[in-house]
A = this chain, B = another copy of it.
Amino acid sequence: MTPRFSVWGITGIPEVAVGDDLVALIADAVAAQAETDPNLALQAGDILVVTSKIVSKSEGMQVPAAERERAIAEDTVRVVAERVHPGGTFRIVETRQGLVMAAAGIDMSNVPDGTALRLPLDPDASALALCAGLRQRLGIDIAIIITDTIGRAWRVGQTDMAIGAAGMQLTDDLRGAVDANGRPLHVTQAVIADEIAGAADLVKGKTSNIPVAVVRGLGRYVQGLDAPGARTLTRTGDDDMFRFGSAEAYRLGYQAALAELKAASKQRQD
């Protein structure tokens, strides 16, 4: 058997406004698509990958552009690294969602003029509500991944990653598993949710109006609504070897040495 899956975009989802019912918007768009091609009707095991932008819009996370800086500060748990440019300060922060990203994920593209858009406050809760609603409406078990576009250390550009999820297994945990020759695997935890998020970006894109993609053929990962969310994919705290940018950590070390010497010198003088 040749393992395979396919990915396509759901077209015809209108511009989303505060309070819109995403379950209805998505289900209606899928139904319209299925009229021209019955294969596009959702099936059990399908994974729906939803751009966080429409979730934020439906949840009223727009702020006036003038309040962008305040919103970034509100959504920031701590600053990880920053660099001053002629045009301003570029800041990588840990967000309230546990993500490490530029400007706390607050975006001014694909939103109405004069506004900025925050991330959903709790993307896993948003995913769960969407997943439960679609399962109930359609009578089949689908799964939801909510994505945002995030930069990576040591790589150029950005890829889409899973910031919220419901109803599916998010990693292939291979710790303790063996390879085809029976030898322990070096790789321990393949993050399929991020790989699916990236795959969906290839049909959603950034300049089109396709905020939701369907991934069919990976139904083996679909689980109950009690499956852990995407918050479990974030690595923060002591386990994070890159808790600060190099310049920031260097400065902390420099200041610590100065403070220690000052204290020691004061002790000698006393």
Interface residues in chain A, defined as those with a beta carbon under 8 Å from any beta carbon in chain B: 1-9, 11, 33, 37, 40, 81, 83, 92, 94, 99-100, 107-113, 149, 152-161, 171-172, 174, 177-181, 183-192, 194-196, 198-199, 201-203, 205-210, 218, 232-236, 240-258, 261
Nearest CB in chain B to that of A189: its residue: B157
In angstroms, Cα B203 to Cα A180, docked, is: 15
Q: A194 touches which one: B9, B155, B243, B249 (CB < 8 A)? A: B155
A83 x B249 contact (CB < 8 A): no
Which 6 pairs across A and B sit closest by C-beta, in order of nearness? A253-B253, A157-B189, A195-B198, A4-B8, A249-B249, A257-B257
Nearest CB in chain B to that of A259: its residue: B257
A172 x B245 contact (CB < 8 A): no
With a CB–CB cut-off of 8 A, which chain B residues contact A171? 156-157
With a CB–CB cut-off of 8 A, which chain B residues contact A245? 241-242, 249
In angstroms, Cα B107 to Cα A4, docked, is: 27
With a CB–CB cut-off of 8 A, which chain B residues contact A210? 3
Q: A2-B33, A7-B5 are in contact. Are A241 and B81 (CB under 8 A)?
A: yes
| Least Cβ–Cβ distance between A236 and chain B, in angstroms | 7
| Least Cβ–Cβ distance between A256 and chain B, in angstroms | 6
In angstroms, Cα B151 to Cα A235, docked, is: 11
Q: What are 13 A-to-B residue pairs whose CB atoms are below 8 Å?
A: A3-B203, A3-B208, A5-B8, A152-B153, A154-B236, A155-B161, A155-B235, A158-B191, A177-B207, A179-B206, A179-B207, A242-B245, A261-B261
With a CB–CB cut-off of 8 A, which chain B residues contact A187? 109, 149, 158, 206
| Least Cβ–Cβ distance between A163 and chain B, in angstroms | 11
In angstroms, Cα B191 to Cα A201, docked, is: 10
Q: A189-B156, A194-B159 are in contact. Are A181 and B110 (CB under 8 A)?
A: yes
With a CB–CB cut-off of 8 A, which chain B residues contact A152? 152-153
With a CB–CB cut-off of 8 A, which chain B residues contact A149? 187, 190
In angstroms, Cα B179 to Cα A203, docked, is: 15
B241 x A249 contact (CB < 8 A): no
With a CB–CB cut-off of 8 A, which chain B residues contact A183? 108-111, 113
